[in-house]
Amino acid sequence: MSEPKKVIMLGNEAIARGAYEAGVKVSAAYPGTPSTEISEYLVQYKEDLYCEWSPNEKVATEVAIGASVAGVRAMSCMKHVGFNVAADPAYTVSYMGVNGGLVIVVADDPGLYSSQNEQDTRMVARAAALPVLEPSDSQEAKDYMKMAFELSERFDRPFILRTTTRLAHSQGLVELMDRTEPEDKPYIKDIRKTVMMPGNAKPRHVEIEKRNLELAKAADTLPVNRVEMKNTEIGVITSGIPYQYVKEALPEASVLKLGMVNPLPRKMIEEFASKVDTLYVVEELEPVIEEQVKSWGIAAVGKEIFTIQGEYSANMLRRAILGEEPSAAEPATVPGRPPVLCPGCPHRSVYYVLNKLKLHAAGDIGCYTLGAVAPLSVVDTTICMGASISSLHGMEKAKGKDYIKNWVAVIGDSTFLHTGVNSLMNMMYNRATGTVIILDNSTTGMTGHQDHAATGKTLQGDPTYAIDIPALCRAIGVRHVTEVNAFDLETLERTVKEETARDEVSVIITKTPCVLLSKAKKPLYTVHEDRCRKCGMCMKPGCPAMTKNADGTVYIDDTMCTGCGLCESLCKFGAIELVKEENR
Amino acid sequence: MAVKNIMIVGVGGQGTLLTSRILGGLAIAGGHDVKLSEVHGMAQRGGSVVTFVRYGEKVAEPVVEEGQADVIIAFEQLEALRYAHFLKKDGALIINDWKIDPMPVVTGAAQYPEHIIENLKEKYKVYTVNATEEAKKLGNSRVFNLIVLGIAAQHMDFSKEQWYSVIEHTVPQKTIEINKKAFDVGFEL
């Protein structure tokens, strides 16, 4: 037999590959950094499996549960906060167990690279009594995915595969294997296992606690957990990406590497602890392993010296455990470079108008969150998906309709379909008067352009019905639904003024596609310095393609300009002009 | 072989991902273990972006830490300054002589530091090129990163043929020739 093929894969790609090799037949997900690419890689196997973008993580998980009940291996994928949305089905499918293997992939974000909080999925998993596997590199990401399906069926438990940003977005070598498709499990009607009414759920709770104990016992010998015995002065219990930092910083230490982080292999841990002088527990975020280990009366060092915030590193462990300072130059003091709306982004134009009208915005989750910072400074709140509309409603109920006359809710198209639509129903039902702006850029933007229920295309690339967002709003009962081009400043300003003044719910849809969607050559603007009066109007929206020269005139970086024309429409002196095709 | 640590730093949208993938491909072609760490999502949108490439006998962590980088490839001056302390002693810092104002500078809340390259030269081994201007001369300002990579190649242990082969497999078909030309510009500087 020839050597298995080794290729370099992103953690998320390896998860997709693992699902493929495991014979998964159905996958559903909602995009969310750092989990998005799993589905984008999975779609390459669409001849062998079905995968979809669902409107939200709860729907996605229920789709996967249905497929499991029907007898095939199924999965859903999401980021950590998406798992909150999926919590309702997740907690209960834990009681049901599985027919076909069921895996929920949840990606945590220590260090908050692209999230609104730093919650630890292992805590949620413990609360839901769901077993968790956690890989530490791309190869394990693939292997554990397959193992998760096997264990899921063997122990009749849905499994969580937990990843973190660093694993999801790192690449490493992976050995490819063929797909093995297990036979579909027969569906045998048994409502004691699938209808979770109290009479059935009570005995199921007893049953799953029993299963989890069996699994915990098996964890002592499962190859997913392993001991690497070396020098016994220092022993470390760790898992996931922190394992790599331990190997880097403490190559001579003994390590108990946990591949299954819930439930824990108690006997294995007790034995390991008895063999080492000082035991450390190295885990990012919450002390999930540490607290359990200590509750068994085992002495260990953990969050006394390690933080619960952010990502770990080998240098951090060298400092905390060995007292070693890495030899490196002092970092320079430099201005920050926070993320910004792209040049040509239609949100910038909308926010320019809201800023000009001195309006506050209850914001939501997406690229448009970036409208919170200077110079646009429009967004006042960002909580979670869909919260813009409902929190605006709450303000009105607290302080009355006049109080929110200088407020709007802003939400993207994908986010509106995710959970915003429920909040709009609530506004209509409960006699609100607020104004909702749907920033419709025809895509799920921040996560890198995924289709959704209103784009007319599925994850698998098939054409489909595109939900008509204005019609949907009208069907809910909104009488004033206006569509405006985001770059038509005049109409936009007039519409926002009219609608916020109105004592009725209104929806303004600024429908202009994300500038990154089109790869076509873009037009380009230039500044005639002789006509520039240095008034600074064009700089107000904070376009990253524009800088001020030392003399106060303005310069447009032609490698960044996308030709949206916002600066031109703000210049009263004709100093900004489209560059003619022949001069480019 | 001891693990080699490379960093690519720049501004989201400058093509750090493409560059790291070329380096990753190169390391595999050389028969090494390799790990890459990338930035996706929110931080990509015009923010400060850093990508790590590590290759050698056996690579554990996918990131390069302070004081460990053999080569830092900086696509922008301010980002070179931000990450310079990641260099190990005698590490090489390759800087695209190009400035992109971050939003705090655009809004006037902060000043873009002056004399970045001169100051870095006092502390580190610095190689500079105005790759963006050079790329414009080639007719496509977007291939500037291959020019910078060409300079970095002078500090790494791969043959020109290996570089060519990986470029051919990584960049879009239509842009292979111009990317190879851009690489040559940097390689011969």
- Ordered strands of the B87-96 beta sheet: A6-10, A170-175, B33-37, B48-56, B4-11, B69-74, B87-96, B125-129
CA distance B60 to chain A (A): 5
Name the residue facing A337 among B48, B67, B113 (closest C-beta). Answer: B48
CA distance B128 to chain A (A): 19
Q: Report the 10 Å Cβ neighbour count for A133.
A: 27
- Residue A559 has what pLDDT? 78
In order of A18, A41, A42, A135, the CA distances from A52 in angstroms are 17, 12, 10, 24
Inter-chain Cβ pairs, chain A and chain B, closer than 8 A: 177
Give the separation between CA B28 and CA A7, rounded to whole angstroms. 8
Domain count for chain B: 1
- Chain B residues with CB inside 8 Å of A33's CB? 40-42
| Beta carbons of A446 and B45 less than 8 Å apart | yes
User: At B174, which amino acid appears?
Assistant: K
Which CATH number does the domain housing residue B98 bear?
Answer: 3.40.920.10
**Residues A4-21: tens digit of each pLDDT:** 788 999 999 999 999 999
User: At A180, which amino acid appears?
Assistant: T
* Beta carbons of A93 and A158 less than 8 angstroms apart: yes
| Beta carbons of B111 and A313 less than 8 Å apart | no
Q: What is the CA radius of gyration of chain B?
A: 16
Give me the residues of chain B with pLDDT under 50, please.
Answer: none
- Residue A361 has what pLDDT? 98
- Chain B residues with CB inside 8 Å of A170's CB? 35-38, 62
Give the separation between CA B39 and CA B47, rounded to whole angstroms. 10
User: At A493, which amino acid appears?
Assistant: E
Name the residue facing B82 among A334, A448, A557 (closest C-beta). Answer: A334
Q: Are strands A50-53 and A226-228 parallel, antiparallel or unpaired?
A: unpaired
A461 alpha carbon, distance to own chain's centre: 22
Give the separation between CA A189 and CA A132, rounded to whole angstroms. 28
| Beta carbons of A331 and B85 less than 8 Å apart | yes
Name the residue facing A339 among B46, B84, B123 (closest C-beta). Answer: B46
| Averaged pLDDT score across all residues of chain A | 96
The H-or-E segment that residue A391 falls in is helix A387-399
Give the separation between CA A142 and CA A16, rounded to whole angstroms. 8
Domains, chain A, with CATH or none: 6-219 (3.40.50.970), 226-322 (3.40.50.920), 346-511 (3.40.50.970), 525-583 (3.30.70.20)
Give the residue carrying structure tokens 């695209």: B96
CA distance A559 to chain B (A): 7
**Residues A362-404: tens digit of each pLDDT:** 999 999 999 999 999 999 999 999 999 999 999 999 999 999 9
- Chain B residues with CB inside 8 Å of A546's CB? 106
Instruction: Tell me if residue B52 falls in helix, strand or coil.
Output: strand
| Beta carbons of B106 and A342 less than 8 Å apart | no
User: At A405, which amino acid appears?
Assistant: K
- Which of A88, A96, A46, A49 has its CA nearest to residue A69? A96
- Residue B141 has what pLDDT? 84
Mean pLDDT of A132-146: 98
**Residues A152-164: tens digit of each pLDDT:** 999 999 999 999 9
Q: Does the pLDDT value for residue A461 go beyond 80?
A: yes
Q: Does the pLDDT value for residue A1 go beyond 70?
A: no
pLDDT tier for residue A51 given thresholds of 50, 70 and 90: very high
Q: Report the 10 Å Cβ neighbour count for A272.
A: 21
Question: Between A352 and A560, where is the model more confident?
Answer: A352
| Beta carbons of A173 and B61 less than 8 Å apart | no
Mean pLDDT of A448-465: 97
Give the separation between CA B127 and CA B187, rounded to whole angstroms. 12
Q: Does the pLDDT value for residue A584 go beyond 60?
A: no
User: At A260, which amino acid appears?
Assistant: M
Under 8 Å CB-to-CB from B118, ≥6 apart: which residues? none
Return the bridge partners of A436, or none: A409, A507
| Beta carbons of B106 and A10 less than 8 Å apart | no
CA-nearest residue to B88 within chain A is A328
Name the residue facing A542 among B45, B106, B111 (closest C-beta). Answer: B106
* Beta carbons of A266 and A220 less than 8 angstroms apart: yes
Q: Does the pLDDT value for residue A582 go beyond 60?
A: no
| Beta carbons of A337 and B28 less than 8 Å apart | no
In order, the DSSP letters of A442-479 are SSBTTTT-B--TTTTB-TTS-B-PPP-HHHHHHHHT-S
Spell out the alpha helix ranges (H) of chain B. 16-29, 77-83, 103-106, 116-123, 131-138, 144-153, 160-170, 176-187
Q: Does the pLDDT value for residue A482 go beyond 60?
A: yes
Mean pLDDT of A505-534: 92
- Which of A342, A389, A395, A330 has its CA nearest to residue A370? A342
* Beta carbons of A561 and A343 less than 8 angstroms apart: yes
Domain range holding B102? 4-187
- Residue A583 has what pLDDT? 59
- Residue A372 has what pLDDT? 95
Q: Does the pLDDT value for residue A554 go beyond 90?
A: yes
Q: Report the 10 Å Cβ neighbour count for B177.
A: 12
- Residue A133 has what pLDDT? 98
- Residue A560 has what pLDDT? 84
Q: Is B16 exposed, middle or buried (0-12, 13-18, 19+ CB in 10 A)?
A: buried
- Chain A residues with CB inside 8 Å of B45's CB? 339-342, 367, 370, 446
| Beta carbons of B79 and A337 less than 8 Å apart | yes
**Residues B1-14: tens digit of each pLDDT:** 789 999 999 998 88
Give the separation between CA A263 and CA A506, rounded to whole angstroms. 50
Burial A85-94 (b: 16+ CB within 10 A, else e): bbbebbeebb
- Which of B63, B15, B35, B42 has its CA nearest to residue A36? B42
Give the residue carrying structure tokens 């990163």: B145
**Residues A270-326: tens digit of each pLDDT:** 999 999 999 999 999 999 999 999 999 999 999 999 999 999 999 999 999 999 998
pLDDT tier for residue A494 given thresholds of 50, 70 and 90: very high
Name the residue facing B40 among A173, A448, A544 (closest C-beta). Answer: A448
Give the separation between CA A340 and CA B45, rounded to whole angstroms. 6
CA distance B173 to chain A (A): 16
| Beta carbons of A329 and B87 less than 8 Å apart | yes
